[in-house]
Structure 1
Amino acid sequence: MARPASEEKRTAILDAATELVATRGTGASTAKIARKAGVAEGTVFTYFATKEELLGALLLEIEGALAGALLNEPLPGDGGREDMQHFWNRLIDWGSANPRQWRTLKRLKISSQVPDHVRVQGERLFDEATALIARALARQAGEGVSFRYAGLIMNAIAEATFDAIADEPRQSEILKQRGFAIFWSGIAALAETGQ
């Protein structure tokens, strides 16, 4: 007879997977994840049928936390700079407070071990955020701006901002504002170059 599931053990497994994926990548074995979680390797498979299912659940858990942080309070409502800056501030605050989860999320997003249907499910969590960003970018750079390109720029500047804040935590507010200024000015430049 199967043992009843324990939310505490499931959480321990996901926490261990977060730490190991952040530091070692998605190649971290289930044996190492189990050891880090303080459970037997077979216990991992009580909660997740395969490693892919574990990584997919981890992706959805982290993306759910991030989406919640991004959308947990009303935006200023200008449809442009103020909304985008509010969104940016939440992103930087979450990433700075959760560097391990951010690193894990980046690795999971490029891993072939995460099933495509899970990626799609995760992307749906950001539909509202995506619409917000699209409106703000169109207002700043025009309708022709490549949303994907702008997103890549945002992620790169966010990553640099996280690193700078980690080095100088007392300067976090200033660095957050500088990062946004660089991003927003860069989006305006896309309009000039027709990107």
Structure 2
Amino acid sequence: MARPISEEKRKAILAAAEKLVAETGTGVSTARIAKAAGVAEGTVFVYFETKAALMAALLSELEQQLAAAFKVDAMPGDGGREDIRHAWERMIAFGATHSAKWRAIKRLKASEFLTDAGRQQMDALFGDVHTALAKALRNHAHKGVTVDYAALVLNALAEVTFECIAAEPSRERHYTELGFELFWNGIAAGKTDQAEVSMRPA
């Protein structure tokens, strides 16, 4: 007889995997994940056929949470500075509040567990964010700045901002605003003729 599926156990396994991937990377064993989740190792494979399936499910769950955090429907819609400020502030709020989730996403995306299907899912999840960033670049960026390049710069500044906020939580607002100004003033310098669009979010 098949074991009954418990959503509570599934969530516990994903939560344990998230914590351990954030702390130690994707090389963490399923035995450690099972122990942290309070289940037998075999139980992990009741819910996830392989470790790869577990990692893919974790990345999918975290990316959905991050995509929802951007609240694209609430963007001002100016096609420029304020739309990008909105995306930046939502990203910083997510990373500052959920540092383990951010680290886990970063490690999973750099691992062999990021599949073509996972990339396609991210394309779909972050399509509206890509569109807003591309529009802002077309309207305001240095000529030749691509969405790829701008997103890499945005991510790098976000990492620095997270570190500063972690060191000085009382100055979260200061670092959030400073990071955005550094990005915008560095990227925006008049209208471009064309911005190339070929990016999955950072």
TM-score, scaled to structure 1: 0.93
Cα distance in 1, alignment partners of residues 174 and 26 from structure 2: 34
- Name 2:128's counterpart in structure 1: 128
* Paired residue total: 194
Match of 1:188 in 2: 188
Distance in 1 of aligned mates of 2:190 and 2:76: 24
| 1:31 paired residue number | 31
Given that 1:64 and 1:125 are in contact with CA atoms closer than 8 Å, whether structure 2 keeps it comes out as yes
Structure 1 residue 145 displacement after superposition: 1.8
Deviation of the 1:4 alpha carbon: 1.4
Q: Per residue, is there more helix in 1 or in 2? A: 1
Tell me which residue corresponds to 2:198: none
| Correspondence 1:44-193 to 2 at 5 A | 44-71=44-71, 73-141=73-141, 144-188=144-188
Larger deviation, residues 42-51 vs 144-153: 144-153
Q: Is the 8 A contact 1:79 1:132 kept in 2?
A: yes
Give me the whole-angstrom Cα distance separating, in 1, the residues matched to 2:76 and 2:191.
Answer: 24
Matched AA of 1:136: A
Question: What 5-or-longer segments of structure 2 have no aligned partner?
Answer: 196-202
Which region of structure 1 is more displaced relative to structure 2, 69-78 or 87-96?
A: 69-78
| Structure 2 match to 1:40 | 40
2:63 and 2:122 in contact (8 A); partners too: yes
Structure 2 CA distance for aligned equivalents of residues 190 and 126 of structure 1: 26
- 143-152 vs 45-54, which moves further: 143-152
Aligned 8 A contact 1:69 1:91 in 2: yes
Pairwise CA distance, 1:72: 5.7
SS state at 2:140 partner: helix
Moved more, 166-175 or 66-75: 66-75
Structure 1 154/164 Cα, relative in aligned 2: closer, same or farther at 3 Å?
A: same
Bigger Cα displacement from structure 2, 41-50 vs 66-75: 66-75
Greater CA deviation, 125-134 or 135-144?
Answer: 135-144
CA displacement, residues 112-156 of structure 1 (integer Å, 9 cap, x when unaligned): 123221222123110111111111122221563211111110000
Q: 1:54 to 1:116 in 2, by over 3 A?
A: same
Structure 1's unaligned 5+ residue stretches are none
Any conservation in 1 of the 2:19–2:100 contact (CA below 8 Å)? Answer: yes
After the TM superposition, list the runs of 4 or more consecutive aligned residues in structure 1 that deviate by more than 3 angstroms: 189-192
Indicate the RMSD between aligned Cα atoms, in angstroms: 1.9
Q: Percent identity?
A: 51
Code of the aligned partner of 2:159? E
User: For 1:18-70, what per-residue CA distance to the aligned partner results, in whole angstroms no more than 9, with x for missing partners?
Assistant: 01111111000111100110000111111111111111110110000010010
Q: Is the 8 A contact 1:55 1:108 kept in 2?
A: yes
Question: Relative to structure 2, which stretch is displaced further, 177-186 or 117-126?
Answer: 117-126
Aligned position for 1:7: 7
Which whole-Å CA distance do the structure 1 matches of 2:181 and 2:72 have between them? 23
